[in-house]
Amino acid sequence: MHEASYDDTPKFGLPPIHRVTFAMLGTALRRAVRDMIRAPFYGILFALPYVLIGWGLGWITWTTGQSYWLIFAAVSFPLIGPFAAVGLYEVSRRIEIGRPLVLSEILTVITRQGGRQLPSLCAIIVFLFLVWFFIGHMIFALFMGFSTMTNVSSSFEVFLTPNGLAMLTVGTIVGAGFALLLYMITVIALPLLLDREVDFVTAMIVSFTTVTVNPVPMLAWAAFIVVVTFVAMIPFFLGLFIALPLLGHATWHLYDQVAGEGTQ
């Protein structure tokens, strides 16, 4: 029987924020692998929604030939993503302090976030995703609006025209900017909102500041996340069963070191 003294009530106030080093990134990854080995069930459980949604949207897009279904991904993934991440954070937190992994308690921690600041951060993420999609459509219309078009899903040569290449260049730059902004305001904010009783705006500011103060290791971490996620999606999204638990556990352990709560 597990100890009843375990208190998962968030602490008040901001933790001390230390500088990020590459050694911290390595430690976070090693601890993440340890957590995946100790609790593989939770990795599969919290990655499963991503894989199922990816399969569903991919199948619908393929059968209908309509890419607007991807808009649902822009809404669904940011909505479920933070809550799935919280589950992985809680698993890592319990493993780190030697507490038992009780599914009902972990799910309670996740559902409890609905009455805290996490939904507000989800709303910001969804808003930025939708703005990203809107600007993407504007870029497409700006460069390709007067071009003779066929079905772009089967006529890729249209993207090899001067306008097509310009559109891809501008779109990639803008998209990368939005992705970087999302990363900067969430990478520390998500675990911080689980660990501490702070408002979501403060959490985003702390996260943004952490990245700007530590640009080299934090941007290297962002690049690592992009590469791992991209590779994981290639084999029919199945790689997400490994990539998402790895990144989720590692994010918690990186935060745990940066916030001064874990072993440096």
Per-residue pLDDT reduced to its tens digit, 196-220: 999 999 999 999 999 999 999 999 9
Q: For residue 147, what is the enclosing H or E element?
A: none
pLDDT at 136: 83
CA distance linking residue 9 with residue 61, whole number of Å: 43
pLDDT at 263: 47
Does residue 212 contact residue 226 with C-beta atoms inside 8 Å? Answer: no
Task: Reduce the DSSP state of residue 12 to 3 states and report it.
Answer: strand
The residue type of 67 is S
pLDDT at 129: 83
Backbone angles phi, psi at 12, to 5 degrees: -90, 150
Pick out the chain residues at pLDDT < 50. 1-5, 262-264
pLDDT at 25: 97
Closest CA to 46 of 191, 249, 230, 193: 249
> How much is the pTM?
0.84
CA distance linking residue 101 with residue 95, whole number of Å: 8
Could you give the dihedral angle defined by the CA atoms of residues 162, 164, 165 and 167, in that order, rounded to the nearest 10 degrees?
120
pLDDT at 209: 97
